[in-house]
Amino acid sequence: MAGPFRSLAVRNFRLFAAGQVVSVAGTWMMIVAQDWLVLGLTGDSARALGIVTALQFSPLLLLTLFGGRLADRHDKRLLLTVANAVSAVLALLLAGLVLSGAVRLWHIGLFALGLGVVNAVEVPARVSFVSEMVGAELLPNASALSAAYFSTARVAGPALAGLLIAAVGTGWVMLLNAASYLATVVALRMMRPGELYRGAPESRARIVDGLRHVLARSDLVLPLALLAVVGLCGLNFQLTLPLLAKTVFDADAHAFGLLTAAFAAGSLGAALVTTARSGRPSGRTVAVSALLFGVLETVAGCSPGFAAAMVLLALTGFASIYFVQAANHRIQLGSDPRYRGRVMALYALILQGSTPLGALGTGWLAGRFGARSGLVVGGLVSLAAGCAALLAERAPARDADGDADRDGTGAADTAPRQPPAQEAPEPSRHPEPPDGPDLRERDRTA
């Protein structure tokens, strides 16, 4: 199989992708149902929604590095199987409470916290497991396809959730989510372990070693720092989209699903575009994509109507996934395989662990100044961060140009400088013929 889907020729990855499409679609159905349920129980409280979102992502902030350590020390396939099975049980318990009419806000917060603990183990194991399924050569393509099936599920899940919530209520949507986890469990157990690209697990894998590896590499520190700022301020769509739909456009559950699906459709387009990437992107690519994302998010926050919001959110979704994928590929392809689980745990920690703080800040901002302010401020901060990263990327380039060789190649001279060779002594002048062989020989020597 060639082209943008070449990673699907690998049987293990094909099974994993199929299971993930079903499972992630169920997860996005659950997210829409959970947000809608919280707003319904609290009278459209942005503060309550921010607290539940913070509870769900706080464990990622606190425990993801530990999850990365587990991923480097243990069988990732087994970790993912257990994590998905536990998530199914948690979703089943919450669905029972909702269907029985006994659900309270603290039940939702407790479930969100439990799911966050599971995700702190599942996310770094899943991200680093991709390289074990396909190997280093196909990793950029497989990573982009992973983003593609996540975006596909993000399109189908919210749209279907909006219809089901209107038809049968949030409880049945949560029950379907519980069943969807089984697709990933079955796919994982059907894999052929002998076809995985496994290295020797590190029996003494330490979190501090992974951090030292990152801190010693400026080409990893800069995209991670940019990701932290954008993730904290700009990537809070789980909070801003339901507030925009319900408080600005006065939309019902179906219309909210369409708004979320439009954002996800743009994300899918970006994921498919990045499947053509075959190598590690430059730091400039990461910075420019963050800058463009900031511009589009700011404009989306000022959208005059529902139709315009759908179009602008689709473009914003495209820019967000393009930036996240560029940062992912630059970090993952630039890290040492021995530390990849811990490095990608740090990536997941920054990308998703920043959400609790971002959700609280965005919830306060939206409650005080309206839902649009969350998008506008997040976009402006992301724009400023992208500009700063672009300047930081250009500064080393100017330094390298100053130290470049003088041979016209532009390559930096990194070899140690040697002391200048001593000048050859001036040949003695004898009355020989001007064109004699000895003079020509001495000229060549000099």
- Determine the longest span between alpha carbons in the chain, in angstroms: 116
Give φ, ψ of 205 to 5 degrees. Answer: -65, 125
- Residue 87 identity (one-letter amino acid): S
What is the full per-residue pLDDT of the chain (446 aa) written as tens digits?
556 778 888 899 999 999 988 998 898 888 888 888 888 888 878 788 878 877 887 787 778 778 877 887 888 899 999 999 999 999 999 999 999 988 899 999 999 999 989 988 888 888 888 888 888 778 778 877 887 777 777 667 777 887 888 888 888 999 999 999 999 999 999 999 888 887 655 556 577 777 888 888 888 899 999 999 998 888 888 778 888 887 888 777 777 778 878 888 888 888 788 877 777 888 899 999 999 999 999 999 888 888 899 999 999 999 998 998 899 888 877 877 777 777 877 887 787 767 667 777 887 888 888 888 889 999 999 999 999 999 988 765 554 444 434 333 333 333 334 444 444 444 443 444 444 444 344 343 43
User: Does residue 142 lie in a domain region?
Assistant: yes
User: Does residue 432 lie in a domain region?
Assistant: no
Q: Domain containing 79 — which CATH number? A: 1.20.1250.20
Burial class (CB in 10 A: 0-12, 13-18, 19+), 442: middle
Q: Supply the pLDDT for residue 396.
A: 58
Q: How far apart are CA 110 and CA 133, in angstroms?
A: 34
User: Does residue 22 lie in a domain region?
Assistant: yes
Categorise residue 410: left if φ over 0, alpha if ψ from -120 to 50, beta otherwise. left
Name residue, tokens 């243990």.
74
User: Does residue 414 lie in a domain region?
Assistant: no
> How many domains is the chain partitioned into structurally?
1
Q: Supply the pLDDT for residue 200.
A: 58
> What is the chain's Cα-based Rg?
27
CB contact at 8 A, 331 and 220: yes
User: Does residue 427 lie in a domain region?
Assistant: no
Give φ, ψ of 217 to 5 degrees. Answer: -125, 105
Where do the H-state alpha helices sit in 275-420?
Answer: 283-301, 306-334, 340-353, 355-369, 371-402
User: What number of residues does the chain have?
Assistant: 446
Q: Supply the pLDDT for residue 43.
A: 83
Burial 123-134 (b: 16+ CB within 10 A, else e): bbbbbbbbbbbb
User: Does residue 298 lie in a domain region?
Assistant: yes
The terminus-to-terminus CA distance of the chain in angstroms comes to: 62
Query: CA angle at residue 214 from 209 to 219, to 5 degrees?
Result: 160
Q: What is the DSSP string of 205-218?
A: --HHHHHHHHHT-H
User: Does residue 363 lie in a domain region?
Assistant: yes
Q: H or E segment at 246?
A: none
68, two tokens: 């990365």
- Supply the pTM of this predicted model: 0.66
Q: Supply the pLDDT for residue 205.
A: 58
Per the structure, the complete domain to which residue 278 belongs is given by 3-195+208-399
User: Does residue 283 lie in a domain region?
Assistant: yes
